Amino acid sequence: MTMEPSAPSPAQWLERAANGGLAPAQFRLGGMYEKGIGVRKDLRQARRLYLAAAAKGNAKAMHNLAVLLADGGSNNPDYVGAKKWFLKAAENGVRDSQFNLAVLNARGMGTPQDVQSAYVWFAIAAQQGDSEAAKKRDELNARLSGEQMKAAKST
């Protein structure tokens, strides 16, 4: 009896496409490695794939890469790297990145504390329907001087 070769798994198909440089495949395969879906969980591999897709302009990959960097995996968060990728994703309209960037700015994580910039990013996320961002924006409103508020609103 001859055995038919088994068809490639979804992860194998994605790996072929990712190795071919397709950013959507790199993003999807990165998610599989991040969560351990269809493959063994491997955050290093997820980070590598997200970086490849992010470098090609995939905004969701930018966000996911930033989350992995901020999390650090082994109590070694890279807030500077996370801020860089949250900013790129935020500028590409990713609401969760806008919120997370605001948090980093408000807390001074990976950047000097900048409440005015945090206000701006919370306001942008709030405009996209993020109710938690609206609450945070309003909390920061009380901490900004009239001059800072004027500058923030003109941004």
DSSP string, 93-131: T-HHHHHHHHHHHHHTSSS---HHHHHHHHHHHHHTT-H
pLDDT in tens, 56-106: 999 999 999 999 999 976 678 999 999 999 999 999 999 999 999 999 999
Please check the confidence at residue 124 and state whether its pLDDT lies above 80: yes
**CA–CA distance, 102 with 106 (Å, rounded to integer):** 6
Handedness of CA 96, 22, 36, 42 (dihedral sign): negative
> Sorting pLDDT into bands at 50, 70 and 90, what band is 144?
confident
Angle at CA 57, nearest 5°, toward 55 and 59?
Answer: 110
pLDDT (0 to 100) of residue 73? 66
Q: Which residues contact 69 (CB under 8 A, 6 or more apart)?
A: 47, 77, 78, 79, 81, 82, 85
Q: Which is more confident, 29 or 5?
A: 29
pLDDT (0 to 100) of residue 22? 94
Residue 109's Cβ-count burial label (10 Å; 0-12, 13-18, 19+) is: middle
pLDDT (0 to 100) of residue 148? 73
Closest CA to 63 of 86, 33, 45, 93: 86
* DSSP code at position 21: T
Give this prediction's pTM: 0.87
**Rg for the chain, CA atoms, rounded:** 19
Structure token pair of residue 41: 């969980």
Residue 149's Cβ-count burial label (10 Å; 0-12, 13-18, 19+) is: middle
Taking a C-beta distance cutoff of 8 angstroms, is the pair 114, 100 a contact?
Answer: no
